[in-house]
Structure 1
Amino acid sequence: MLLEKLLDYSRQQGYRIAKLDLKLTDINTLASLKTFLQCLCADVSDSLELEPELDQYWKDIYGLNKNCTRYFQKYLLSVSDRPLVFAIDNFERLFEYPDIFPQFCLLLRGWYESAKQGDRIGKIWQKLRLVVVHSTEAYPCLDTNHSPFNVGIAIDLPEFNLQQVENIAKRYDRNIQLRQEGLNKLMELVGGHPYLIQEAISNLKTKQITLEQLLNLAPTEEGIFSNHLREQLWNLQHNPLLESAYKKVVTANQPVRLDAEFGFKLHSMGLVKLLGNDCVPSYDLYRRYFSERLV
């Protein structure tokens, strides 16, 4: 939703727009770095209503990243004086492809650095507005040293506040009347987590469960959040060191200081909140579920 609003605003400013949703990218496109980069160049060309010109700008004498850079620099960015907004959605899809992800990150970082140059090349790259949208829940398997996410401006989506949760409930169904006490209890359980809040309100709307039942069953396999909780549990169980670190957090009665890498990854997964250098469970839901599951 936020990305679409940003792209709509960019259109109003007269910018050219190209969007790549990696969630829709087929497996064959991800077969190799060369195939991926060539398809990316063709896809952006198509979005801009330009004919792909890979034969003209792609030369085997150069490396793959160099060829993709040449294509953008000499063709896509040079064909117009208008800025180009290139948005990559669901970027976390590439985390699963170690033959593509590190090299593609280096490519994006290179483009970012090129725009800092004060020469003719720098002015060309200053026309590129690169937007990368990704989930952080897959960070446990990610080598953040190769990540492009520590350049540019990072925008973290905040949690909903009380007023926003009330508004969401009304938008779903005006007949949903969460009294102040019930609303407070729901937010004590899951805070303002966007997905968990919407999941709760959606189930209350369909009247498949009462608020009391929802609250009681939430940290169990019978609760409405079970799929989300099991997914997080799977992530932890496939990283034993991270699992051990999180067990310390959910079983402690006070904030816990962890290794900086563990704290960063658990925070990226949404499982902890940071209090200075210490960690606490993000929500009571997580504390209650994982304190029993992590044995």
Structure 2
Amino acid sequence: MALNNPSQSQTQRQRLQQERDSLEKAHALQSEKVAEIRKARIVETDPSRKFQFKQELQEEERSLEELADRLNAIEQQLQATDSSGLEADASIYIQRPPIEERCYRAIVQPGALIRIKAPQKMGKTLLLEKILDYARQHNYEVVKLDLKLADNSALTDLKTFLHWLCVNVSDSLNLEGKVDEYWQDNLGVNTSCTRYFQRYLLLNINTSLVFAIDNFELLFQYANIFAEFCQLLRSWYETAKQGDKMGKIWKKLRLIVVNSTEAYPTLDINRSPFNVGLAIELPEFNHKQIEEMAKLYELDQLLKGDGLSHLINLVGGHPYLVQEAFANLKSQDISLEELLILAPTEQGIFSYHLRQQLESLQDNFQLKKDYKRVIIANEPVQLNPEITFKLHSLGLVKIVRNDCISSCDLYRQYFLVRLD
């Protein structure tokens, strides 16, 4: 093997990311164009011009939808390669009992709310897909909204965001978007959104609707949207508990919220969706689960000696790192000895992932400074709570009571020579 050549999985990721970046730019420009036409249509008083704007808007929205579909397809391919290193191994899934069974039991309950939380690349989206597949087996309608696909124009204010949300849910259900027909600004934006779901979306499906929101933490930085949207989700959850006609309608809705950190802005406990429903926090793989994955990858030789222990000492039970290692060992692109030696270097199979983590730290001086304290210390380090949760959401630290330790030796070795 030519060790200085990028691996198949890394090359594929880079190609997909370049394509995604190009599509994101096109999607952002198209979104701005659609937003401008919508504004022009609202203020236009001439019926003829208003009709022309409507026709133009429909055409441009179709183009926007096509871009969104292509972008979503790229994101799914990236998720598959990120989850397994090699696309052919994306089907391998290791259960972490009793988490899956608890989620399956919850999602069939009327008005359910499931909250999945874990650092990046811990398998949150894979678990979400398992739950959604289970819901499909019960003939439920399923809508997954990834907030990574929300560009800046959709996040300017609460009304714009909820419009974007309603349109996307309608599209996913193959229903005509009728937001303007049900929206009444004098009722308030949350009420208008609720009205659209209650009177249009939920009444036009004959089964339950599972509505999953992935990468929810992206809203944490938008204070003008976050608190009100959280109140909206909480109100839907509470309404489903009612025994009246309205409660019967909302019992059809089951919510899943997925986020990578709990460092969200302070919320009134009575208006928050983060203290109700089923809370799931994904742990790392234990030794038995890593052995199970090795068997699925047919790496029996790895299980016979000390190789598995050496690998675990390097990457811990981090699902992404373990699966990336197994995928490359399975493809025989690299030996275990080479993998262990080169892992914390730019020649190693984790180089792309490690550079991404490094970029996250370099963007924040305090984050970089405090993580350096963690990796040079011989005992747990107490950090500012906000810094602690940011590092934890990146998967760089484990929290031990109120203190932090490096989440694995791979990160410690790599960052020791790169953080000055």
Same fold, judged at TM 0.5 (above): yes
Aligned residue number for residue 154 of structure 2: 30
Matches of 1:70 and 1:4 in 2, distance apart?
28
Aligned residue number for residue 278 of structure 1: 403
Determine if the alignment matches structure 1 residue 191 to structure 2 residue 316: yes
Identity, % of aligned positions: 59
Is the 2:299–2:330 Cα contact (8 Å) retained in structure 1?
no
Determine if the alignment matches structure 1 residue 153 to structure 2 residue 278: yes
Aligned residue number for residue 353 of structure 2: 228
Aligned residue number for residue 383 of structure 2: 258
Matches of 2:211 and 2:273 in 1, distance apart?
15
Name the amino acid aligned to 2:304: R
Matches of 1:241 and 1:120 in 2, distance apart?
52
Distance 1:199 1:125, change over 3 A: same
Is the 2:388–2:404 Cα contact (8 Å) retained in structure 1?
yes
* Deviation readout 1:147-182 (Å, 9 max, x if unpaired): 965554332222222232233233334576443400
Q: Give the stretch that moved more between structures: 207-216 or 62-71.
A: 62-71
1:166 to 291, 306, 329: 291
1:89 to 210, 214, 222: 214
Determine if the alignment matches structure 1 residue 239 to structure 2 residue 364: yes
Aligned residue number for residue 182 of structure 1: 307
* Deviation readout 1:91-139 (Å, 9 max, x if unpaired): 4565687776665445434434544667655554343211123444xx8
Aligned residue number for residue 331 of structure 2: 206
Query: How far is 1:200 from its partner?
Result: 0.9
Matches of 1:44 and 1:88 in 2, distance apart?
11
Aligned residue number for residue 186 of structure 2: 61
Q: Give the stretch that moved more between structures: 142-151 or 168-177.
A: 142-151
Q: Give the SS at the match of 2:334.
A: coil
Matches of 1:174 and 1:217 in 2, distance apart?
20
Matches of 1:126 and 1:150 in 2, distance apart?
19
Q: Give the SS at the match of 1:258.
A: coil
Q: Give the SS at the match of 1:133.
A: strand
Query: How far is 1:79 from its partner?
Result: 4.6
Is the 1:20–1:87 Cα contact (8 Å) retained in structure 2?
yes
Aligned residue number for residue 74 of structure 1: 199
Unaligned runs of 5+ in 2: 1-125
Matches of 2:351 and 2:226 in 1, distance apart?
31
Query: How far is 1:208 from its partner?
Result: 2.3
Query: How far is 1:215 from its partner?
Result: 0.9
If the length of structure 1 is used for normalisation, what is the TM-score?
0.81
* Structure of greater relative contact order (alpha carbons < 8 Å, 6+ residues apart): 2
Distance 1:202 1:98, change over 3 A: farther
If the length of structure 2 is used for normalisation, what is the TM-score?
0.60
Distance 1:56 1:269, change over 3 A: same
Aligned residue number for residue 374 of structure 2: 249
Is the 1:257–1:278 Cα contact (8 Å) retained in structure 2?
yes
Q: Give the SS at the match of 2:349.
A: coil
Name the amino acid aligned to 2:285: F
Distance 1:134 1:5, change over 3 A: same
Q: Give the SS at the match of 1:17.
A: strand
Distance 1:12 1:204, change over 3 A: closer
Distance 1:150 1:244, change over 3 A: farther
Determine if the alignment matches structure 1 residue 44 to structure 2 residue 44: no
1:7 to 126, 132, 138: 132
Is the 1:170–1:176 Cα contact (8 Å) retained in structure 2?
no
Q: How many residues align?
A: 290
Aligned residue number for residue 141 of structure 2: 16
Q: Give the stretch that moved more between structures: 122-131 or 271-280.
A: 122-131
Matches of 1:161 and 1:274 in 2, distance apart?
17
Query: How far is 1:57 from its partner?
Result: 0.6
Aligned residue number for residue 394 of structure 2: 269
Matches of 1:243 and 1:28 in 2, distance apart?
27
Unaligned runs of 5+ in 1: none
